[in-house]
């Protein structure tokens, strides 16, 4: 393969210092003229569900052969290698910390390990330098199999699924967007499977309930709450021209402990069927 159509960059490093720019410089030095697109530099290093939701639903809109670089929670353990996987005719490069399967939903069949020099002065840019060099070789025509060492076992983590009973679902909040709309880990297919044509009630705090599905935000009056399935296919709870997360005290999670031992308590929203 030659001529990578585009690279995307998704990280948890923010944009307040030089690192995001330095990584782009490394990539442009390795492959001059390559198109680099930012997905987000505000991913959560502790909330993989949040990071995977953003990456997964952005990646699917990119052309075939795109390479997606995802740097999340790089220092969970000393990264002697990063993974490069082929998935859905695209490529994902990320640490071997469970992020890959969080995005893909299963272990990709084709994965190689790109070795990283973890010598005395190891840091983020040493890791991304190794990634840039691998991409240079790939762009110059090296086969995927020769970019790294084939691996069969990786760290696997998977998104939480809603828990259910005969007439209820407990769903976790996986993402709160810029407007404080709340995204739930429930797809339309899963919702209809449990609903079975029954009436439903989505319970929020303060005795607020939602009993209908809307097509979009404009389906209700300003200040009214609504539920709809967003463009990613997930259930979203919102207030037209309001902030549902603040109004009803909804949060994604609380964490305690250090970065390697995080206890997450996910806020739930219960749906009743009758």
Can you give the pLDDT at residue 88? Answer: 96
Domain 163-273: CATH architecture, name and number where available:
Beta Barrel (2.40)
Q: Please list, in sequence order, all residues whose beta carbon lies within 8 angstroms of the beta carbon of residue 215, skipping any fewer than 6 positions away.
A: 228
What is the model's pLDDT at position 261?
38
**What's the pTM value of the predicted model, to 2 decimals?**
0.88
- pLDDT in the model for residue 252: 62
SS (H, E, C) the chain: CCCCCCEEEEECCCCCCCHHHHHHHHHHHHCCCCCEEEEECCCCCCCHHHHHHHHHHHHCCCCCCCEEEEECCHHHCCCCEEEEEEECCEEEEEECCCHHHHHHCCCCCEEEEEECCCCCCCCHHHHHHHHHHHHHHHHCCCCHHHHCEECCCCCCCCCCCCEECCCEEEEEEEEECCCCCEEEEEEHHHHHHHHCCCCEEEECCCCCEECCCCCCHHHCCCCCEEEEECCCCEEEEEECCCCHHHHCCCCCEEEECCCCCCEEEECEEEEEEC
| Residue whose pair of structure tokens reads 């697109």 in the numeric block | 37
Q: What is the pLDDT of residue 188?
A: 95
**CATH placement of domain 7-150:** 3.40.50.10790
Question: Cβ-count burial of 257 within 10 angstroms (0-12 exposed, 13-18 middle, 19+ buried)?
Answer: exposed
Q: Supply the pLDDT for residue 213.
A: 96
Mean pLDDT in runs of 10 for the chain (274 residues)? 82 96 97 96 91 96 97 88 97 97 96 88 90 96 93 92 94 90 94 96 86 94 94 94 83 46 59 96
Q: Which two tokens stand for residue 72?
A: 């999340």
Question: Does 163-273 match 7-150 at the fold level?
Answer: no
Q: Which two tokens stand for residue 8?
A: 């995307």
Domain boundaries, the chain: 7-150, 163-273
């Amino acid at each position: 393969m030659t001529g990578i159509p585009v690279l995307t960059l998704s990280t948890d490093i923010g944009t307040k210092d030089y690192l995001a720019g330095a990584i782009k410089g490394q990539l442009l030095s390795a492959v001059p003229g390559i198109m680099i697109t930012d997905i987000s530099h505000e991913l959560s290093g502790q909330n993989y569900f949040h990071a995977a939701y953003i990456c997964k639903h952005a990646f699917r809109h990119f052309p075939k052969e795109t390479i997606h670089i995802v740097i999340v929670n790089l220092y969970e353990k000393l990264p002697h290698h990063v993974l490069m996987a082929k998935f859905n005719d695209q490529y994902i490069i990320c640490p071997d910390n469970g992020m890959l399967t969080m995005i893909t939903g299963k272990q990709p069949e084709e994965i190689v390990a790109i070795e990283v020099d973890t010598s005395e002065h190891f840091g983020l840019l040493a890791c991304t330098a190794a990634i840039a060099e691998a991409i240079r070789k790939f762009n110059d025509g090296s086969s995927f199999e020769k970019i790294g060492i084939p691996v069969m076992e990786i760290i696997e983590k998977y998104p939480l699924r809603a828990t259910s009973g005969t007439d209820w679902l407990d769903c976790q909040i996986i993402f709160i967007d810029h407007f404080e709309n709340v995204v739930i880990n429930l797809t339309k297919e899963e919702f209809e499977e449990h609903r079975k044509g029954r009436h439903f009630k989505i319970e929020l705090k303060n005795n607020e309930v939602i009993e209908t599905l809307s097509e979009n935000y404009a389906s209700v009056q300003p200040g009214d709450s609504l539920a709809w399935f967003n463009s990613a296919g997930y259930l979203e709870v919102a207030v037209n021209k309001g902030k549902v997360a603040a109004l009803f005290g909804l949060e994604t999670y609380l964490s305690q402990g250090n970065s390697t031992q995080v206890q997450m308590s996910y806020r739930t929203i219960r749906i009743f069927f009758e």
